[in-house]
Structure 1
Amino acid sequence: MRKLLLPSLIIVAALLLVIRIFYLQVINDTFKLKSENNAIKIKYDYPERGYIYDRYGKLLVANQASYDIMVIPRELKNIDTLEFCQLLKITKEDFIKKIAKAKVYSPRLPSVFLPQLNKSEFAAFQEKIRKFEGFYFQKRSLRDYEVDFGANIFGFITQVNDKLIAKNPYYNSGDLIGKQGVEESYESVLRGIKGVKYFQKDKYNREIGSYKDGKYDTIAVQGEDINLTLDAELQKYGEQLMINKRGGIVAIEPRTGEILALVTAPSYDPSILVGRQRSTNYTLLYRDSIAKPLYDRGLLAEYPPGSPFKILTGLIGLQEGVVDEQTTFMCHHGFSYARGRFMKCHGFGPHNLHNGIYNSCNTYFANVYMRTINKYAKPAYAVDVWSKHVKSFGLGDFMGYDLPTGKRGNIPDSKTYKKIYPNGGWRSTTIVSNSIGQGEVLMTPIQLANMMATVANEGYYYTPHIIKKIKGTNIDPKFTEKHQTTIDKKFFKPMISGLFDVYNLGTARGLGVPGIDICGKTGTAENFAKINGKRVKLEDHSIFVAFAPKDNPKIAIAILVENGGYGNAIAGPIASLMIEKYLRKKITRTDLEKKILERSLRDRYAKLGGMKDANAIETSPKKDTVKSKVIETAPPVANLTIEN
């Protein structure tokens, strides 16, 4: 047996090798098509990307024809460079650089020489293309935006880079790919499938017919259409209300987690990132480091949530049993809680949960928080218990929504304070600012909106998402998974009662909409900056969170306006208007609408930018410039670093 083992292994190995070679050379010759074969020419047929619709079927993003000039460096012969450059309005230096770049990619394979010609440019060059051997057209489709809003949601289309080509074999030089927004998140769904045709060439490099009678040819398959959860009219209205302001608006349907609106301000018209000027326009937007129109404040901006966080402070106090609905604390327009430190307050007299919420009493919630922390012998353990409750609302981490950008926010725990106070000594009085949404607590607007959706649902939420329907497939099942908080359902009723009276008796009096029962909470987050090394207090951020109707809620919303002042000054009216717009499709509070549409914070932003006069900000330049499409721009900031 031993004598037969080695010969047997050699025979088996030889047979396997022969079978594999026979398969590759006779049965399957697709490897031939992947090589840079002089006898075969490959042409791609690029499909249209899937269309994008809103929740009601309104078309938001379609396609338009575009043409790339492709070049195969090895096939260039007798080019009249001067005529070529004049025709395409490029310099000779540009011509040389582009050819050199194409050679680096591959002398034999096609690469993009000049992308995204429009119809008139294509027609002019098509007449003379026969004179420029080695060049040909590649038809593609670019996005055609049917609306001038929602740029942060859609994202944009750009050419793939060499790094991605090396990583993903689907893409070739010149291919387009979605970046940011749903174009990136759902790239594999929207892009479709490229068609491929193979042609045989003779020794003179002329096409002589289809390779193997089209055996390996495939047809292009258009990308799948998608419906977003977005309410297009609500999104448009939100962006209008935020003109000449900075901040974010996020609206969610509580019972599903569907994102109804995702507004960031300032924003821009998505159409400026289409065509040959895309790169130039993108650079202008990118370099605007002050207004940051490419920065999605609804998803990325981390702010102290301010008074809306008192909702969680109260709920956790009820859950931990340190207070009940009748527990009362006395407020004297402020609360001296330890070592002479003082916390200002809006209220006066005795406060319980109900009037503590609608009066936004700092005294009440500071006491509730300290009782929660003091319940346990060790502050480190206590703050971890508190932190766990807060995080059960989806805070302090990425939320898992289907957009490619986001921030965690920050919910502190014992590890946080061990780093801040390595020698110990901290206690409930040290970190009491957390009780009112200051201190180390940071949240994004979408987290605030999800918090209110959770309260509206009395203790549970669904992961926020922007996709509603994909033609031909199902959406990710994680968006239908219910997330339960650590707070018992019974504690939400008294909290909701207090939030309802915010509009009737409290800090949002006068902001209600007749016939709509709204529950809300004002917020004013302190805002500091370092100017020339000094800590300076700037105008507070205006925050408001709400849901409506009180019974069977259909919308939960969070608004943050940077440097907007009190929560009921700007953010509150915007919340009322957005809620009425969604529920009724019209506005009856035209007084609030007029106030907000006419309200501009340009003076405040100009001051931050070191400008003496807001009129120095260019908001209405010539129509042929990219800035005409940017809703609000701002001057550079000198020696200013904004802190959260």
Structure 2
Amino acid sequence: MNSFFQRRYVIAGVFITLIIILLARLFYMQVIDDRYLQFANRNVIRQFMQYPARGPIYDRNKKILVQNKLVYDVSVIPRQVKPFDTVEFCRLLDITKEDFDKRFTKAIKYSRALPSKFGKQLSPELYASLQERMSEFPGFFVEPHPVRIYPDSTAAQFLGYIGEVTDTKIKESGGYYRPGDYIGITGVERAYENILRGQRGVKNVMVDSRGVPQGSYANGAFDTVETPGEKVVSSLDIRIQKLGEKLMQNKIGSIVAIEPATGEVLCFVSSPTYDPNLMVAGPDRGKNYKKLTTDPYKPFLIRPIMANYSPGSSFKPLSALVALQEGIIDQNTTYTCTGSYLPNRGKPKCTHVHGVVNLSSAIAQSCNGYFAMVFERLINKAGAKATAASFTDWRSRVTAFGLAQRLNIDMAGENKGQLFKAEQYDKRYGVGRWRSKTVISLSIGQGEVESTPLQLANIECIIANQGFYYLPHLVKSIGNNPVIKHEYTVRHEVGVKPQYFAQVIDGMQNVVEYGTARGSRIPGINMVGKTGTVQNNRGANHSVFVAYAPRENPKIAIAVVVENSGDGGRWAAPIASFIVEKYLRDTISRRPSGITLDYFMNANLLAQPKPKPKVTVTDSTKLQPTVITPVKTAAAGIANKNISANAIIKRKDDE
């Protein structure tokens, strides 16, 4: 009997324990854990994302560069889809059944309960006809969505473009982005994504069992309003940007112009360029992207910050400033040019005999021998046994001008260029086995030194400011506030005293007045500059010109690189002079040299495909020669031309 009662208590205890567990679980599910409430709500509440207008982008004079237009996307919630006429739906969207299946599978993979994009950028006409019939397609709905447009179709590499967010970016965003959302991919659009994108809103709508909207949920108490993106005023001047792109059409190269007093980028031309409207999301975007990526002239390459060139003779003013600061030379130091540098077996050579030159005339006439002498004095100042130490000191003074390092412009992809360290020469030649003559090509901006066009323009800012620069940047203000990044207001000193700059500037002004850039002289404007002819062992020389203007109270510093086009005074200098005058005067005057704007706009310097030679074979059946002409392609013959942006030059330079 006692055993019976004991079993009864045990059984009762088990049931009571189970009841307590069930009650606790119900309490947890209904009071503490709100997931089940959310699951229930998803069956009766549908959330519609309210996409904000992306912030517009202006030029420095408040002219619109990028704005928005409204398009319509079709989204789907797979769980709510019921059987419907898929053939008619595909017809309305102008897609195939295979496209439908692929998109629907992707939506299911993302989430059965959450909405995802199914069809993008419906035309207003298609949207109007589709909206009337959406009740026939349960689970599908239409959302408005703003996309970018570019009224002037210019500054593609500067502004960048937006594209559909990747799975990686979705994960990195912590859930902010969803499949089908858009994000800045390049340029200003990428650098200022968090500012331009704004903040999305959410509208909660009650739906019935068939998914038909029944009105706002809780009278909108839980809705959030979207916040438009901030407007961004860029530093770009659209006047000279458009002029620069016209001057560089059918040419490969770059134009970078900077305001020396602030570091604001005024002109940012990468050529060849493309129409940024081609990259607006839509049915043709994929085809446009493929065409641009396979273009042999690489329009997606942002040459002002990604292309490396030997600076050539544009490096000589910098070398002179370092030597002046070190006390190696002064304005009266002379050198007798015989047409070649005799202390190094005649290398580097000059194009002609300059005779006796001082600092100013050596810059004006671009005498290689003079700067070879200056370089040797710098590297040999402590004796031959201290070559590596002296070189390291020289290199540190040169890199203070921004070479061989990134200038941290607010754009992704910037290269830092190159300037070998002593350790690299030790590895190449052996420790203690190299001297100043081994690396003497550096004296004229050749050899193991490379720079981006942005760095070249920044060096001109340093000369214009007589000893300092501000980091180059693309944005002037955000909203109604000045640029918030503190680093753009910090003055970077280069370690050369102001009194040494006048001597170098005199020579650079003479370059334009009567030297290698005299054909580009602008009447009434004192432009200070230096030409460079960068030898290219894979094709014609690159034309380089750096300058600033006016000499007093400088407003613009500029660097122009035109690949495969000859000496610096022939192409780069005239193009720079047109940009400078347009910026300072908003007009182009007649040049005393006779050069014209139209000539440089219409010139085509692109490598032209060469037809392959005809091949003659014998037809054994007829014993007659048969001529086979290879099929021409758009890229034929280009492989033998230097169409890349990189220019690694090892040899001398002279105008």
* TM-score (normalised: structure 2): 0.86
Tell me the residue number matched to 1:306: 312
Once the two structures are TM-superposed, the CA of residue 550 in structure 1 deviates from its matched residue by 0.7
Q: Is the 8 A contact 1:526 1:540 kept in 2?
A: yes
CA separation in 2, counterparts of 1:33 and 1:237?
A: 58
Structure 2 residue 294 is matched with structure 1 residue 283: no
Structure 2 residue 563 is matched with structure 1 residue 562: yes
Once the two structures are TM-superposed, the CA of residue 166 in structure 1 deviates from its matched residue by 1.5
Q: Is the 8 A contact 1:346 1:362 kept in 2?
A: no
Once the two structures are TM-superposed, the CA of residue 339 in structure 1 deviates from its matched residue by 5.2
Q: Is the 8 A contact 1:239 1:263 kept in 2?
A: yes
Q: Is the 8 A contact 2:256 2:560 kept in 1?
A: yes
Code of the aligned partner of 1:402:
D
Q: Is the 8 A contact 1:52 1:61 kept in 2?
A: yes
Structure 2 residue 589 is matched with structure 1 residue 592: no
Tell me the residue number matched to 2:222: 216
Which runs of structure 2 are paired with 1:330-369 in the superposition (5 Å)? Answer: 330-338=336-344, 341-369=347-375
Code of the aligned partner of 1:330:
T
Which runs of structure 2 are paired with 1:438-457 in the superposition (5 Å)? Answer: 438-457=446-465
Tell me the residue number matched to 1:258: 264
- What secondary structure, in the 3-state scheme, does the structure 1 residue paired with 2:540 have? strand
Select 2:526's aligned residue among 506, 517, 532: 517
Tell me the residue number matched to 1:63: 68
Tell me the residue number matched to 2:24: none
CA separation in 1, counterparts of 2:36 and 2:157?
A: 42
CA separation in 2, counterparts of 1:347 and 1:38?
A: 89
Tell me the residue number matched to 1:77: 82
Once the two structures are TM-superposed, the CA of residue 127 in structure 1 deviates from its matched residue by 3.4
Tell me the residue number matched to 2:127: 122
Once the two structures are TM-superposed, the CA of residue 324 in structure 1 deviates from its matched residue by 1.1
CA separation in 2, counterparts of 1:30 and 1:49?
A: 33
Q: Is the 8 A contact 2:57 2:66 kept in 1?
A: yes
Code of the aligned partner of 1:147:
D
Instruction: Rate the CA distance shift 1:523–1:32 in 2: closer, same or farther, 3 A.
Output: farther
- What secondary structure, in the 3-state scheme, does the structure 2 residue paired with 1:575 have? helix
Structure 2 residue 580 is matched with structure 1 residue 571: no
Select 1:157's aligned residue among 129, 154, 162: 162
Once the two structures are TM-superposed, the CA of residue 81 in structure 1 deviates from its matched residue by 2.2
Does 34-43 or 241-250 show the bigger shift? 34-43
Q: Is the 8 A contact 1:36 1:109 kept in 2?
A: no
CA separation in 2, counterparts of 1:551 and 1:132?
A: 70
Tell me the residue number matched to 1:44: 49
CA separation in 2, counterparts of 1:35 and 1:480?
A: 54
Code of the aligned partner of 2:457:
A
CA separation in 1, counterparts of 2:40 and 2:377?
A: 72
Question: What per-residue deviation string (whole Å, max 9, x for no partner) do you get for residues 221-251 of structure 1?
Answer: 1111111111101100000001111100000
Does 172-181 or 80-89 show the bigger shift? 80-89
Instruction: Rate the CA distance shift 1:23–1:518 in 2: closer, same or farther, 3 A.
Output: farther
Instruction: Rate the CA distance shift 1:204–1:85 in 2: closer, same or farther, 3 A.
Output: closer
CA separation in 2, counterparts of 1:127 and 1:71?
A: 17
CA separation in 2, counterparts of 1:264 and 1:166?
A: 33
Select 1:318's aligned residue among 311, 315, 324: 324
Structure 2 residue 395 is matched with structure 1 residue 387: yes
Select 2:500's aligned residue among 491, 514, 525: 491
Once the two structures are TM-superposed, the CA of residue 202 in structure 1 deviates from its matched residue by 5.3
Code of the aligned partner of 1:543:
V
CA separation in 2, counterparts of 1:76 and 1:160?
A: 25
CA separation in 2, counterparts of 1:139 and 1:526?
A: 55
- What secondary structure, in the 3-state scheme, does the structure 1 residue paired with 2:394 have? helix
Identical positions, percent: 43
Tell me the residue number matched to 2:442: 434
Select 1:477's aligned residue among 486, 497, 506: 486
Question: What per-residue deviation string (whole Å, max 9, x for no partner) do you get for residues 399-425 of structure 1?
Answer: 011112211011222122123224541
Structure 2 residue 405 is matched with structure 1 residue 405: no
Instruction: Rate the CA distance shift 1:148–1:640 in 2: closer, same or farther, 3 A.
Output: closer
Code of the aligned partner of 1:323:
I
CA separation in 1, counterparts of 2:91 and 2:35?
A: 42
Once the two structures are TM-superposed, the CA of residue 612 in structure 1 deviates from its matched residue by 6.8
Code of the aligned partner of 1:584:
R
Q: What residue ranges of structure 2 are gaps of 5+ in the alignment?
A: 1-26, 614-633, 649-655
Code of the aligned partner of 1:503:
V
Q: Is the 8 A contact 1:291 1:634 kept in 2?
A: no
Tell me the residue number matched to 2:18: none
Tell me the residue number matched to 1:628: none
CA separation in 2, counterparts of 1:376 and 1:432?
A: 17
Q: Is the 8 A contact 1:68 1:112 kept in 2?
A: yes
Once the two structures are TM-superposed, the CA of residue 93 in structure 1 deviates from its matched residue by 1.3
CA separation in 2, counterparts of 1:415 and 1:24?
A: 68
CA separation in 2, counterparts of 1:553 and 1:639?
A: 42
Instruction: Rate the CA distance shift 1:300–1:108 in 2: closer, same or farther, 3 A.
Output: same
Tell me the residue number matched to 1:9: none
Tell me the residue number matched to 1:620: none
CA separation in 1, counterparts of 2:330 and 2:161?
A: 51
Q: Is the 8 A contact 1:301 1:445 kept in 2?
A: yes
Once the two structures are TM-superposed, the CA of residue 75 in structure 1 deviates from its matched residue by 1.9
Instruction: Rate the CA distance shift 1:333–1:341 in 2: closer, same or farther, 3 A.
Output: closer
Tell me the residue number matched to 2:147: 142
Once the two structures are TM-superposed, the CA of residue 138 in structure 1 deviates from its matched residue by 1.5
Question: What per-residue deviation string (whole Å, max 9, x for no partner) do you get for residues 269-314 of structure 1?
Answer: 11111232122211210121x2111111111100001000011111
Q: Is the 8 A contact 2:316 2:371 kept in 1?
A: yes
Tell me the residue number matched to 1:532: none
- What secondary structure, in the 3-state scheme, does the structure 2 residue paired with 1:136 have? strand
Does 59-68 or 23-32 show the bigger shift? 23-32
Does 123-132 or 556-565 show the bigger shift? 123-132
Tell me the residue number matched to 2:117: 112
Q: How many residues align?
A: 592
Instruction: Rate the CA distance shift 1:442–1:346 in 2: closer, same or farther, 3 A.
Output: farther
Does 422-431 or 198-207 show the bigger shift? 198-207
Code of the aligned partner of 2:604:
S
Q: Is the 8 A contact 1:238 1:263 kept in 2?
A: yes
Tell me the residue number matched to 2:99: 94
Does 196-205 or 551-560 show the bigger shift? 196-205
Tell me the residue number matched to 2:7: none
Tell me the residue number matched to 2:200: 194
Select 1:500's aligned residue among 509, 526, 531: 509
Once the two structures are TM-superposed, the CA of residue 35 in structure 1 deviates from its matched residue by 10
Once the two structures are TM-superposed, the CA of residue 341 in structure 1 deviates from its matched residue by 4.6
CA separation in 2, counterparts of 1:473 and 1:342?
A: 52
Q: Is the 8 A contact 1:345 1:363 kept in 2?
A: no
Code of the aligned partner of 1:554:
K
Tell me the residue number matched to 2:17: none
Once the two structures are TM-superposed, the CA of residue 258 in structure 1 deviates from its matched residue by 0.7
Does 267-276 or 79-88 show the bigger shift? 79-88
Q: What residue ranges of structure 1 are gaps of 5+ in the alignment?
A: 1-21, 530-537, 614-632
CA separation in 2, counterparts of 1:512 and 1:480?
A: 33
Once the two structures are TM-superposed, the CA of residue 379 in structure 1 deviates from its matched residue by 1.3
Question: What per-residue deviation string (whole Å, max 9, x for no partner) do you get for residues 22-81 of structure 1?
Answer: 999879969966999444422110000111111111111111011111112222222322
Instruction: Rate the CA distance shift 1:80–1:96 in 2: closer, same or farther, 3 A.
Output: same
CA separation in 1, counterparts of 2:448 and 2:95?
A: 54
CA separation in 2, counterparts of 1:225 and 1:369?
A: 49
Q: Is the 8 A contact 1:543 1:571 kept in 2?
A: yes
Code of the aligned partner of 1:43:
F
Question: What per-residue deviation string (whole Å, max 9, x for no partner) do you get for residues 483-540 of structure 1?
Answer: 00011111111001110111122111221011000101000001123xxxxxxxx100
Does 90-99 or 452-461 show the bigger shift? 90-99
Instruction: Rate the CA distance shift 1:297–1:206 in 2: closer, same or farther, 3 A.
Output: same
